[in-house]
């Protein structure tokens, strides 16, 4: 059991390192530069792709609406602090971002789709971002 935990930590650490290396080599350079911006979330057209709420998958729209309503959420991890370890989102103090699961039909796990929102009020976020590749890339959600 202990060995499996060690392997899992190694693989997780290696994956984060590979993504960071790809960003530093220029893959996703636009997103990487946005990750180091200070202050409020970038506006549309400032180097971060956008996605309209209506363009989100059906489950994404449902999750977004639940965020604005304050829940209820299907998973214990929903609403917990998102650490932005990948540094794809604009840099903010710890606790600024919160993550929410976007259900993936027929998935046995939480899947890779998430909405991450930033701000001091969870039901009135400054900005929300959608990822369908488990934090490798994000699109800012616009109305």
Within its chain, how far is the Cα of 36 from the centroid?
16
Residue whose pair of structure tokens reads 């009020």 in the numeric block = 121
The one catalytic residue in 2, 65, 86, 134 is 134
Alpha-carbon span 67 to 63, nearest angstrom: 6
**Is residue 99 annotated as a catalytic residue, yes or no?**
yes
Cα dihedral across residues 104, 123, 33, 57: positive or negative: positive
**Is residue 65 annotated as a catalytic residue, yes or no?**
no
Q: Are strands 97-101 and 50-52 parallel, antiparallel or unpaired?
A: unpaired
Alpha-carbon span 47 to 33, nearest angstrom: 8
The one catalytic residue in 62, 65, 91, 99 is 99
| Residues in contact with 23: Cβ distance below 8 Å, sequence separation at least 6, in sequence order | 29, 31, 32, 35, 86, 87, 88
Question: Where in the sequence numbering do the catalytic residues fall?
Answer: 99, 134
């Amino acid at each position: 059991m202990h060995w499996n935990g060690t392997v899992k930590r190694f693989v997780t650490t290696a994956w984060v390192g590979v993504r960071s290396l790809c960003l530093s080599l220029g893959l996703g350079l636009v997103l990487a530069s946005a990750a180091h911006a200070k202050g409020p979330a970038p506006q549309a057209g400032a180097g971060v792709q956008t996605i309209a709420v209506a363009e989100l998958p059906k489950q994404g729209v449902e999750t977004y609406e639940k965020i604005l309503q304050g829940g209820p959420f299907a998973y214990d991890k929903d609403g917990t602090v998102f650490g932005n370890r990948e540094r794809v989102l604009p840099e903010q103090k710890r606790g600024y971002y919160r993550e929410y699961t976007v259900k993936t039909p027929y998935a046995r796990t939480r899947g890779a789709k998430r909405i991450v929102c930033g701000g001091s009020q969870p039901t009135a976020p400054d900005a929300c971002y959608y990822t369908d590749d488990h934090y490798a890339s994000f699109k800012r959600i616009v109305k």
